[in-house]
Amino acid sequence: MKKTVRDIDVKGKKCLVRCDFNVPMQDGKITDDVRIRAALPTIEYLRDNGAKVILMSHMGRPKGQPNKEFTLAPVAERLGELLGGAVIFAQSDRVVDDGVVAAVAAMKDGEILLLENTRYREEETKNDPAFSKELAQLGEIFVNDAFGTAHRAHCSTAGVAEFMPAVSGFLIEKEIKFLGEAVNDPKRPFVAIMGGAKVGDKIPVIENLLTKVDALIIGGGMSYTFFKGEGLEIGTSLLDEDSIELTKKLRQEAADAGVDLLLPVDVVCAKEFANDSETLVCDKDKMPADMMGMDIGPKSVKLFSDEIAKAGTVVWNGPMGVFEMSNFAGGTRAVAEALAASSAITVIGGGDSAAAVKQFGLDDKMTHISTGGGASLEFLEGKELPGVAVLEDK
Ligand code: ADP
Ligand code: MG
């Protein structure tokens, strides 16, 4: 168990808090502030318990240079509105300079200050100890609450922890709890659902999950590479040529581990990669040579839904089809509905899968939707994330 802000005395302490304020912007305006709102519980807790709250985050890719397009000024403003009080924005093209040090020194208990975009400095993504030290001089306790960047060892996500005690905020605490319990201490049967585009990207996840799950469901674009491994015609479907042999190995590993491996039994095919394309629903061994698989068919939906209904825990990563096109969203929607209807612990990891669940309006029905696409994948691979590894154990 990792220490959280609740496990330490923060009164009067300068808390250096890494948030995920990497919000979408258009013409200098924040178009979606959900990440800022998600950070409020930790910030409010620290403020209300008398800490001096120094916030830092990256936004976009300013490539190690100051760039007004990526300033956190609009975030400071929005934060102030949400918190109902001013947030000091310590603008500096160097992120830390004498003026910023002085502004922090002048802070009173319960005040909140935001630093400029940490990626204005090229040292940030290199985890350069010199920049970590510059940041670290501003605080006494490091609080990491940015799960979305926890899989990166950067100055603001990991490096600063060399210089002071580190604990998690409420967001990371929640991610570790739900992802960790689902993977390492699941209520059984434990069913994992994998989908998305390429098998290659997800092989480490599949291999790790095969050692833990009771059943593994595979759908989406990656299933055609498995079909190809069986010698089936897959037409013009997505194929990950380099992974064909690997799919055979994964089947063997599943059999050896006694894991039920479920693949689609039918397919929604299309002539072209377009929503208005001519379509055909067929069994997996009847795919025409001039069509591509775009979604799982109704028999597969039934097969997968029945498995989900029996589960105690379900972890889902990767959509079942090209859900961005309404005519090929049916399989992904049906699986999301099966999760919503089940009494299992349901955990969604992966950016597109989370987007799909939200698109269907089923996000409230899930136990946990991870906020970090890449970070949740690395977690499911069984890796320890650098931004989590630096946190003190209880
Ligand atoms: P996540 O972000 O949840 O980890 P991925 O990024 O791996 O998921 O995959 C998502 C993408 O996979 C989506 O854009 C979706 O359109 C695509 N996809 C799913 N099924 C297919 C398919 N049959 N053919 C082509 N692309 C597919
Ligand atoms: Mg994705």
The confidence band for 312, taking pLDDT boundaries of 50, 70 and 90, is: very high
- Pick the residue whose CA is nearest to atom 21 on ligand 1: 221
End-to-end CA separation in angstroms for the chain = 6
Cβ of 238 closer than 6 Å to ligand 1, yes or no, is yes
Give the amino acid at 178.
F
Q: Is the pLDDT of residue 57 over 90?
A: yes
pLDDT digits (tens, 9 = 90+) for 107-158: 999 999 999 999 999 999 999 999 999 999 999 999 999 999 999 999 999 9
Q: Strand pairing of 368-369 and 345-348?
A: parallel
Residue 290 domain-assigned (yes or no): no
Q: Which domain holds residue 165?
A: 5-169
Cα–Cα distance measured from residue 181 to residue 161, given in angstroms and rounded to the nearest whole number:
25
Q: What is the pLDDT of residue 164?
A: 98
- Residue 193 is classified by DSSP as E
Residue 273 domain-assigned (yes or no): no
Residues 155 and 190 in one domain: no
Q: Is the pLDDT of residue 222 over 90?
A: yes
Residue 392 domain-assigned (yes or no): no
Of 273, 352, 357, 358, the one to substitute when testing ligand 1's pocket (max ligand atoms within 8 A of C-beta) is 352
Q: What is the pTM of this model?
A: 0.89
Q: Is the pLDDT of residue 351 over 90?
A: no
Q: Is the pLDDT of residue 198 over 80?
A: no
Residues 210 and 99 in one domain: no
pLDDT digits (tens, 9 = 90+) for 19-42: 999 999 999 899 999 899 999 999
Residues 89 and 238 in one domain: no
The confidence band for 65, taking pLDDT boundaries of 50, 70 and 90, is: very high
377 neighbors 350 (Cβ within 8 angstroms)? yes
CATH number of 335's domain: 3.40.50.1260
* C-alpha of residue 82 to centroid of ligand 1, in Å: 35
The DSSP secondary structure of 341-382, one letter per residue, reads HS-SEEEE-SHHHHHHHHHTT-GGGSSEE-S-HHHHHHHHTT
Q: Is the pLDDT of residue 350 over 90?
A: no
Residues 236 and 376 in one domain: yes
Averaged confidence pLDDT in the chain: 96
Cβ of 139 closer than 6 Å to ligand 1, yes or no, is no
Burial of residue 267, with CB atoms counted within 10 A of its CB: 0-12 exposed, 13-18 middle, 19 or more buried: buried
pLDDT digits (tens, 9 = 90+) for 165-174: 999 999 999 9
The confidence band for 200, taking pLDDT boundaries of 50, 70 and 90, is: confident
Place of tokens 């929005």: 78
Q: What is the pLDDT of residue 86?
A: 86
CB atoms within 10 A of CB 25: 17
